[in-house]
Structure 1
Amino acid sequence: MAQRLFLFFLHIVERITYNNEESGFSVIKIKAKGFPELVTVVGNLAAVNVGAVLRLKGEWKHDSKYGRQFSAADYRETVPATIAGIEKYLGSGLIKGIGPVNARRIVRYFKENTLKIIEESPDELVKVEGIGTKRVEMIKKAWTEQKEIKNIMLFLQSSGVSTAYAIKIFKTYGNESISIVKNNPYRLADDIWGIGFKTADKIAQQLGFDKESYERCRSGIMYVLSELSNQGHCYATRTQLISEAVKILDAGEPLLERTLDQMINEKSVILKEDFSHYF
């Protein structure tokens, strides 16, 4: 019998048991409505912190060693709304300069407005006992960095990028992730292992990229060369390359002829001296 898909809406991260910073794979414990004990969740959960409120999509699985677990295929994060949730969120180590003690002091002082204060009027934090101007500057910097990471992840996920790929993209491009993906999503196929032309093309179409753009045609031709290489070919003829690219890109031959000529000029592909073979 096939496993059912479940949606967990707005549940709180209580503990992070394991996190691999390179791959983004994590094991977390969440407090979920209808479950008396904490639920174990596994999956690519990059930039998730204790106290965060998650919307998870996935399925139940049974691990032979660890038992029943919820395997998350996707997630979305929102900030906590309750005082207790905000305190746990800030005290998790998310923001450099705010540990559990300072988190408690800040939340006691600003209550439900805490996150709004940090976002809009962080200099007011000096009103809290034990927090001076140097610490405020540290908090402001750390808050901005974390916000940038979360904005990038949100943008990538909303653009049709899976969580696993979003992690790879962020690891590769860092704070430039959004601008690079917006300007030329086909770079992903060149730069990131595991993301090929078809995945990059899907992302590009989600972003409204022109199907006849040079970037798309170039990437499609490179994909054809790669596929021919995987089949054991050492080169491709011009006719063969254009013919296969037409099928992949659903584009006209004249456009692809111009694209290939530009690629030759840029030395993206190498043309043999007798003008018959492309590498």
Structure 2
Amino acid sequence: MKLRAVIERITYQNGENGYSILKARVKGYDDLVTLVGNMLDVTVGTVLIADGQWKVNRQYGSQFVVESYEEAMPATLFGLEKYLGSGLVKGIGPKFSKLIVTKFGMDSFDIIEKDSQRLGEVDGIGPKRIKKIHDSWMKQLDIKDVMVFLQGNGVSTAYAAKIYKAYGKESINKVKANPYCLADDIWGIGFKTADSIAAKMGYGKNDVRRCRSGILYTLNQLVNEGHVYAHRDQLVEAGVKLLETDKASIKSALDQMIAAEGLKTEDEAI
């Protein structure tokens, strides 16, 4: 189910994973609707197009559980003013929000993003505030772009928030270059999750980055079973089974890891 919601109030928000409880105005509902889910840096005034489902909480009643979302721009001058005055954009409060929207109308967002020096036409806004406003706006655009990219590649909103916290505006480049780095860097994302993301991005079964990550996953599984080392043939066979690939690809990745000292070897072990 899809809802278009205008955020009216933030009841709770976790800065680490983005988990939020929000009150929103939704067309067709007289009372504010409660939205729950991982929604990173969403503020009062934000317009969300949210996909999810309804559930009934015994204590809090009906809630809409957000599974994925994207931000939409406000469609009215009132919405623009409320959005800009919400605290989302550093350097703009309710006073300057009203002045900016009065001056630039529906072009306000474009002015901030593409021609921010024109903000100096508004009484009380000087060079320092212009820079603060523009920098804050661009950061929000980075977050939106990252969330759209990650959700488009099968990353849940919870993991997307963690990824942005770890990589910031470099998130898209990092994940494009090697989605398997997620298994190394992001707590809670293991090899299988990273592999699913990589598959959606078009990574082949024989890709060396996939083989490397699969080998490390296999070693970790052996450690969890109480082993302290693995034989080379053992790793190759396990890698072929796990990754459904050929021995040559696994052997090549293993040789590269040994050469780069990513794995320690001894004659009687690997």
Q: Do 1:43 and 1:71's aligned partners in 2 also have CA atoms closer than 8 Å?
A: yes
Q: 1:59 aligns with which of 33, 53, 56?
A: 53
Q: 1:7 aligns with which of 2, 5, 18?
A: 2
Q: Do 1:47 and 1:150's aligned partners in 2 also have CA atoms closer than 8 Å?
A: no
Q: Do 2:54 and 2:63's aligned partners in 1 also have CA atoms closer than 8 Å?
A: yes
Q: How does 1:208-227 map to 2 (within 5 A)?
A: 208-227=202-221
Residue in 1 aligned with 2:115? 121
Partners of 1:273 and 1:237 lie apart in 2 by 10
Q: State the Cα distance separating 1:172 from its structure 2 match.
A: 1.1
Residue in 2 aligned with 1:147? 141
Share of identical aligned residues, percent?
50
Task: List gaps (5 residues or longer) in structure 1.
Answer: 1-5
Partners of 2:260 and 2:171 lie apart in 1 by 25
1:94 alignment partner, SS class: coil
Q: State the Cα distance separating 1:61 from its structure 2 match.
A: 2.1
Deviations 1:219-274, CA, capped at 9 Å, x for gaps: 01111111222233333222221111112212111221121122122222222332
Partners of 1:82 and 1:46 lie apart in 2 by 24
Residue in 2 aligned with 1:93? 87
Partners of 2:233 and 2:17 lie apart in 1 by 41
Residue in 2 aligned with 1:200? 194
Amino acid at match of 1:150: K
Q: State the Cα distance separating 1:47 from its structure 2 match.
A: 2.0
Q: 2:36 matched to 1:42?
A: yes
Q: Do 1:16 and 1:49's aligned partners in 2 also have CA atoms closer than 8 Å?
A: yes
Partners of 1:141 and 1:7 lie apart in 2 by 32
Runs of 4+ in 1 over 3 A off after TM superposition: none
Q: State the Cα distance separating 1:89 from its structure 2 match.
A: 0.7
Alignment coverage as a number of residue pairs: 270
Residue in 1 aligned with 2:254? 260
2:27 alignment partner, SS class: coil
TM-score (norm 2): 0.94
Partners of 1:261 and 1:132 lie apart in 2 by 59
Amino acid at match of 2:255: D
Residue in 2 aligned with 1:188? 182
Partners of 2:51 and 2:10 lie apart in 1 by 18
Residue in 2 aligned with 1:163? 157
Amino acid at match of 1:7: K
1:72 alignment partner, SS class: strand
2:87 alignment partner, SS class: helix
Deviations 1:22-80, CA, capped at 9 Å, x for gaps: 12111111111221000011110102122222111222222232222111121111121
Q: 2:74 matched to 1:80?
A: yes
Partners of 2:261 and 2:60 lie apart in 1 by 53
